[in-house]
Structures are given as structure tokens and as C-alpha cells.
Amino acid sequence: TDAAAKGLGSRINSSAAPTSAGIAALEPYRVDNAIILAAGMATRFAPLSFEKPKALFEVQGEILIERLIRQLQETGIDDITVVVGYMKESFFYLEDRFGVKIAVSNDYSKRNNHSSLLAVKSSFGNTYLCSSDIYFSENVFSPYAYGTWISSEEKGEPDDRYILKTTRSGKVTEMSKTGTGHYEMRGPAHFTKEDATRLIAHIEDEYDQPETAPKLWDDILAEHLDEFSLRARILPKGVMHEFNYVQDLASFD
């Protein structure tokens, strides 16, 4: 409408850059912080992971987690917490080198990564949630994020990732390991404070159930999908590189 166009015109200039009014309009969507999950034992990388955690492997001349931290900081995300567990002392240098915070998950050896979220639940909200062992060939982060979303890319060879079915607007209507959707869940996620609080509540509610121990945080999200307004953020093929096995890493570097 003319009114909408006039409102948009006050927020961007002739070069399509945001005006001061545009920057003010974006401010409610500023990302507060980032959480990097790095507590796992990476058993599929044994015996290499007996020497150091996978997040500290050097790939293309850079330490995986260091590259991720730099990309977040280049975007303006300075409040970064790394959740550690296995060989936790090997991550402590990151506090001095990059100014990040370290949180320890004491249950890493007997539970999956949902326990890491409980270690940082007080700061989880308006947050990027990242795995520590993914190499991004370009910076995928932004100072601003709208709503709760999970990254994904076009579906490839069948594996154990969640397949997402979405509406045309990107709303996720189904998460399934055997789904018929066109996208697979990979890469970082963003949670609003409301949805982060909701996910933590579900983790706490079922934490003492024996069947919860092996679950990933996204398993719990999938079980309660109808309670979240979740969107898929589609990233192009070739931007995310995930190394599940030694041969994956060797073929990339």
C-alpha cells in the first residue's frame, strides 16, 4: 500500500541502506548472545578425539571453534558462551584469547546435548545456538534475527538428520527423520526468549525420565513442534561443512 511504502521509505535511503529510523526499527530483533555447544566426546572421531575435542581440530588452517567465534564477533555478537564437558580444560584458553565465557556441563558423559542447555538456561533467549564443529565457508550470522528458526539446506543423501516440511512462507510443519520434506536441518538456530524458555521447560520436565538421556535438544523440540512458531532458514549448498567421520574431514582438508 502507499502507506506501507511511505513507512518503508523512512527506514531505508536511496542506496537501500537503513536510515536511523530503520536501525531503530531493527533494534527489537537484535541478537543478545550466542551459545556454542562443545561438550561432546566425538566418539566417531576416535582415536583422534582421544587427543583433543573435535571443535579444536584444525581445518583449512584454522581451529574450528576459533573460526566460529570470529565469525560471530565480526557480526557484532560479543556475548558468547561455550558449553564444555569432555576435556574441558582444553577450551579454557578461549576466555583470554577471545573474551568468551565458559560453562561446564557435568552430565556430558551420560546425557546428550539437551543437558548443555540447562547449564546456560539463564542466558538462553534471543540467542544463536551453534554446534562447535561446523565449518562455514562464509559468515552466515547477522546482528538481527526474526523469530525462532533453524538452519537447513536442500535435502541430500539420506542420513540421521531431521527432514523439514514447510509452508511457502517457511513455517516448519513437520520434523521427521523419515520425512518427505525438501530440506534437512543443519547448522545454527535462533531462539526467541519465549521459545527458549518453553524448550528449557520441556527439558526440565522430562529430564529424570530414562528415555530422555540420549535425546538431542532438537529431538525434544520435534516432539513439541506444535507449540513453537518455528521457521526454516534455508542456506545454500556448500556453505556449511559438517564432519561426522574422519573421512568427511579428510575429503574437505
Span 118-161, pLDDT tens digits: 999 999 999 999 999 899 999 999 999 999 999 998 877 667 78
92-115 per-position pLDDT tens digit: 999 999 999 999 999 988 999 999
CB neighbour list of residue 206: distance below 8 Å, 6 or more residues apart: 212, 220
pTM value?
0.89
Type of residue at 214: P
17-73 per-position pLDDT tens digit: 677 777 778 887 889 999 999 998 777 777 777 788 999 999 999 999 999 999 999
Bridge partners, residue 61, by sequence: none
- Residue found under cell 537501500: 16
155-172 per-position pLDDT tens digit: 776 677 899 999 999 999
Cis ω for the linkage preceding 236 (within 30 of 0): no
**Nine cell digits for residue 6:** 511511505
What is the C-alpha to C-alpha distance for residues 130 and 189, in angstroms, rounded to an integer?
7
